[in-house]
């Protein structure tokens, strides 16, 4: 008899989840598995929102951001009594394997669930923040970076026409990855991220000199963990330069998945299903230096994420006030 496998999205949605769902259904059938969807994250495990998945369900979704099956942050799943209900629901459908698209908190919860129930899982790192320890890449970050690039390029059009400093706030929770990559690739003057403490007052002399020589706009990228309004006030009060804050917000979570996110979704799901079939019962599939590998939950969730040291070195050279070009 075919065995049954389910997929669930947990936490903040990310572009690339729909391509992952499509591959999940197609590859499951190819491997003789019966695929199921769990709707609305771990909430759906508890509420038994578990249904067989068909080819029709995933037809045409590869181009769409978000996730067709919904996602959620579940507080109830943290309670053992609800996890028991979730396990009973899965067993009632004959499901003993799960693919989880989510972040380290979701994997940690699933690890506990595995030890309590024996239901195997493989986690696929999925978050635009790209802040999961142990993997260089998380599903969705490439699309988010594309959305941010487009937004900054367009803001530059108006900034350059109107002699203003634009302070553009990106998402990322406590991680500066989105802000840093965006600042480098959009040619921003300033980049403020939690990982690189900077006293902006040290820019005063350099920026004044640049203004005297003709600079007529600034682009400053600020990670959401820092205070973009204060930065904008600094431009106005310290430099007398008109300034606006633009908080990009949740547009960063949407958009048609990039080619890279689609391809990575395809590979992640393929290798995750292979691993479950080979008996790898509780791991996270990671991507490091162009190679896929499987890590334990402790390897990805025990330590906080740290920005790639090479990136940080580049960031120092580019964005520290001491490197500001007069
Ligand atoms: O983790 C993804 C993320 O978009 C973060 O960048 C952001 O801080 C957070 O989720 C926003 O959460 P919510 O959608 O609940 O407002």
Q: Which residues of 281-301 are buried (b: 16+ CB within 10 A; e: fewer)?
A: ebbbbbbeeeebebbebebbb
Gap between the Cα atoms of 240 and 206, Å rounded: 14
Q: Is residue 8 part of a domain?
A: yes
| Residue of 67, 102, 129 best suited for mutating to test ligand 1, as the one with most atoms within 8 Å of CB | 129
Compute the average pLDDT of residues 170-181. 98
Check whether residue 21 and residue 110 sit in a common domain.
yes
> pLDDT > 90: what percent of the chain?
98
Cα of 38 vs its chain's centroid, Å: 20
Atom of ligand 1 nearest to the CA of 178: 6
Q: Decide if pLDDT at 89 tops 80.
A: yes
For residue 69, the CA-to-ligand 1 centroid distance in Å is: 18
Residues 186 and 313 in one domain: yes
> Do 211 and 131 fall into the same domain?
no
pLDDT at 132: 97
Look at residue 263 and tell me if it is in a domain: yes
Q: Could you tell me the distance, in angstroms and rounded to a whole number, from the CA of residue 322 to the centre of ligand 1?
A: 33
On whether residue 193 sits in a domain, the answer given is: yes
Judge whether 70 and 56 are in contact, CB under 8 Å.
no
CA separation for the pair 125, 285 (Å, rounded): 7
User: Is the pLDDT score of 1 beyond 80?
Assistant: no
Q: Which two tokens stand for residue 300?
A: 């990805």
Nearest residue by C-alpha to atom 3 in ligand 1: 12
- The whole-number pLDDT of residue 326 equals 87
Whether 228 maps to a domain, the answer reads yes
Does 315 lie in the same domain as 176? yes
pLDDT-based confidence at residue 303 (cuts at 50, 70, 90): confident
Question: What pLDDT, in 10s, does the model give residues 137-150?
Answer: 999 999 999 999 99
Please give the radius of gyration of the chain, using alpha carbons only, rounded to the nearest integer.
22
Residues 86 and 117 in one domain: yes
Atom 14, ligand 1: residue with shortest CA distance: 12
Query: Over the stretch 264-277, which tens digit does the pLDDT of each residue have?
Result: 999 999 999 999 99
In a domain, 304, yes or no: no
- Tens of pLDDT, residue by residue over 176-210, are 999 999 999 999 999 999 999 999 999 999 999 99
Tell me the average pLDDT across 59-73. Answer: 98
User: Cα(27) to centroid of ligand 1, in Å?
Assistant: 30
Q: Is 142 a catalytic residue?
A: no
Q: Would you state the torsion angle of the CA atoms of residues 223, 226, 227, 233, taken in this order, to the nearest 10 degrees?
A: -70
**How many domains are there within the chain?**
2
Q: CATH code at 243?
A: 3.40.50.460
Pocket (CB within 6 angstroms of ligand 1): 12, 127-129, 171-173, 224, 253
Q: Which tens digits make up the pLDDT trace of 18-51?
A: 999 999 999 999 999 999 999 999 999 999 999 9
CATH code assigned at 11: 3.40.50.450
Range of the domain at 37: 4-140+257-295
Residue 140: per-residue pLDDT: 98
The mean of the pLDDT values for the chain is 97
pLDDT over threshold 90, residue 115: yes
Residue 13 is assigned to a structural domain of this protein: yes
Q: How confident is the model at residue 322 (pLDDT cuts 50, 70, 90)?
A: very high
Residue 302 lies in a domain: no
Q: Provide mean pLDDT across the span 212-218.
A: 96
My answer on whether 179 and 108 are in the same domain is no
How far apart are the CA of 173 and the centre of ligand 1, in A?
7
Could you tell me if 267 and 247 lie in one domain?
Answer: no
Say whether both 91 and 113 belong to one domain: yes
Share of the chain above pLDDT 70, in %: 100
Give strand pairing partners of 168: 221, 246
CA 196, CA 124: separation in Å to the nearest integer?
29
pLDDT beyond 70 at 125? yes
Task: Please say if the pLDDT value at position 310 is more than 90.
Answer: yes
Distance CA 7, CA 26 (A): 13
In angstroms, how far is the first alpha carbon of the chain from the final one? 72
Cα dihedral 70, 76, 77, 81, rounded to 10, equals -140
Are 150 and 13 found together in one domain?
Answer: no
Are 247 and 274 in a shared domain? no
Same domain, 280 and 318: no
Which of 13, 129, 142, 261 is an active site residue?
129
- 3-state SS class at 172: coil
Write the pLDDT tens digit of every residue in 236-272: 999 999 999 999 999 999 999 999 999 999 999 999 9
Q: Identify whether 303 is part of a domain.
A: no
My answer on whether 9 and 127 are in the same domain is: yes
């Amino acid at each position: 008899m075919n065995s049954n496998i389910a997929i669930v999205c947990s936490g903040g949605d990310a572009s690339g989840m729909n391509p992952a769902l499509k591959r999940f259904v197609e590859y499951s059938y190819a491997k003789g598995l019966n695929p199921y969807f769990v709707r609305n994250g771990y909430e759906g495990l508890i509420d038994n929102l578990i249904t067989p998945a068909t080819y029709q369900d995933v037809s045409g979704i590869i181009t769409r951001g978000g996730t067709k099956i919904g996602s959620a942050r579940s507080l109830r799943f943290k309670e053992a009594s609800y996890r028991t209900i979730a396990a009973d629901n899965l067993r009632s459908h004959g499901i003993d394997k799960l693919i989880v698209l989510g972040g380290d908190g979701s994997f940690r919860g699933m690890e506990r669930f595995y030890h309590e129930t024996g239901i195997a899982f493989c986690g696929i790192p999925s978050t635009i923040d790209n802040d999961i320890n142990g993997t260089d890449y998380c599903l969705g970050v490439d699309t988010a970076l594309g959305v941010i690039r487009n937004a900054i390029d367009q803001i530059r059009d108006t900034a350059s026409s109107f002699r203003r400093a634009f302070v553009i706030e990106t998402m990322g929770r406590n991680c500066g990855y989105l802000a840093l990559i965006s600042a480098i690739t959009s040619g921003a003057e300033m980049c403020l991220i939690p990982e690189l403490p900077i006293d902006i007052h040290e820019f005063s002399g350099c920026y004044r000199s640049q203004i005297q020589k003709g600079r007529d706009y600034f682009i400053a990228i600020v990670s959401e963990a820092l205070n973009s309004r204060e930065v904008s006030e600094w431009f106005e009060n310290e430099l007398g330069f008109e300034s606006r804050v633009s908080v990009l917000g949740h547009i960063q979570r949407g958009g048609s998945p990039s080619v890279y996110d689609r391809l990575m979704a395809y590979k992640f799901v393929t290798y995750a299903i292979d691993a479950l079939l080979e008996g790898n019962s509780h791991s996270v599939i990671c991507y490091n230096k162009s190679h896929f590998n499987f890590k334990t939950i402790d390897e990805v969730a025990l330590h906080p994420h740290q920005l790639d040291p090479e990136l940080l070195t580049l960031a120092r050279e580019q964005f520290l006030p001491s490197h500001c070009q007069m």
